[in-house]
Amino acid sequence: MAYTAKIGPSILSSDLSQLGRECERMMECGADYLHLDVMDGHFVPNITFGHPMVECLRHCIGPDPFFDMHMMVSRPEQWVKPMAAAGANQYTFHLEATTNPGNLIKEIRESGMKVGLAIKPGTTVEELGPWAGQIDMALVMTVEPGFGGQKFMDDMMPKVSWLRSQFPSLDIEVDGGVGPDSIHRCAEAGANMIVSGSAVVCSDDPRSVIALLKNVVSEAIQKRSLDR
Ligand code: DX5
Ligand code: ZN
């Protein structure tokens, strides 16, 4: 089985005036990667930051941490090259935001980044299916994108299960309301890349929360490989 459990804190809920320090803190606490939420105020009703901030973060924390860019933007084509130049490792765009996913996948690859493809709660997983063979990671949103701290949508889990059954070695990420209370559902369904914002960042003990999330997912992966 090619995939492993990875925990990627979302720094959206952290002290944004200390973003570099917060990213370092998450890596020190055992994060496997960083999930960076880019919002443009059009695709979602919120604004965060763009590639200049990513470039500064990259300089601040060095070349190693993996940046998964969650692009909640209306024109994802526009930011591929700037994000690659800024030091992004993976470019995760929304299927709903483009009319030509195939071309965008190609552009992301040519710019040297990995490809993530995200779907909002209202988008069926069958719409993502045709592209799954061409991407590195599928992101199943478990809240409406736009804000941290929302309630986990359990009814998204059949999408994860379907993807895992169809694409046994694909990286599958969940994002939104994921923490110690919901991680078992995500792990059982087959998710292996876990975004957690407020549950990790706002915890008094982020190291323990990250370790707990990772253990639950690792055990589910192990169990699935024994069942096969
Ligand atoms: C929501 C973002 C998430 C968010 C997750 O639109 O994509 O990454 O920060 O935060 P929590 O885990 O608090 O829901
Ligand atoms: Zn996100």
CATH number at residue 124: 3.20.20.70
Q: Would residue 1 count as lying in a domain?
A: no
Number of domains present in the structure of the chain: 1
Please choose from 96, 143, 196 the residue to mutate so as to test ligand 1's pocket, defined by most ligand atoms within 8 A of CB: 143
pLDDT tens figures, 28-82? 999 999 999 999 999 999 999 999 999 999 999 999 999 999 999 999 999 999 9
Tell me the CA–centroid distance for residue 117 and ligand 1, in Å: 16
Tell me the CA–centroid distance for residue 227 and ligand 1, in Å: 32
Q: Would residue 186 count as lying in a domain?
A: yes
Q: How many residues does the chain have?
A: 228
Q: What is the pLDDT of residue 227?
A: 85
C-alpha R_g of the chain: 16
Q: Residue 133 half-sphere exposure, CB side, CA atoms within 13 Å?
A: 2
Tell me the CA–centroid distance for residue 54 and ligand 2, in Å: 15
Which domain covers residue 125, as residue numbers?
A: 6-227
One-letter amino acid identity for 110?
E
CA distance 228 to 224: 6
Nearest CA to ligand 1 atom 12: 197
List of the chain residues with pLDDT < 70: 1
Q: Is residue 117 a contact partner of residue 137, using CB atoms and an 8 Å limit?
A: yes
Q: Is residue 175 a contact partner of residue 150, using CB atoms and an 8 Å limit?
A: no
Nearest CA to ligand 1 atom 4: 148
Residue 149 labeled ligand binder: yes
Q: Would residue 47 count as lying in a domain?
A: yes
Q: What is the pLDDT of residue 1?
A: 63
CA distance 161 to 152: 16
Q: What is the pLDDT of residue 228?
A: 75
CA distance 37 to 21: 17
pLDDT tens figures, 35-50? 999 999 999 999 999 9
Active site residues: 37, 175
Say what angle helices 19-28 and 51-61 make with each other, to 10 degrees: 50
Task: Please state the pTM of the whole predicted model.
Answer: 0.98
One-letter amino acid identity for 36?
L
| Ligand 1 lining (C-beta closer than 6 Å) | 10, 12-13, 35, 37, 70, 143, 145-150, 175-178, 195-199
Q: Would residue 19 count as lying in a domain?
A: yes
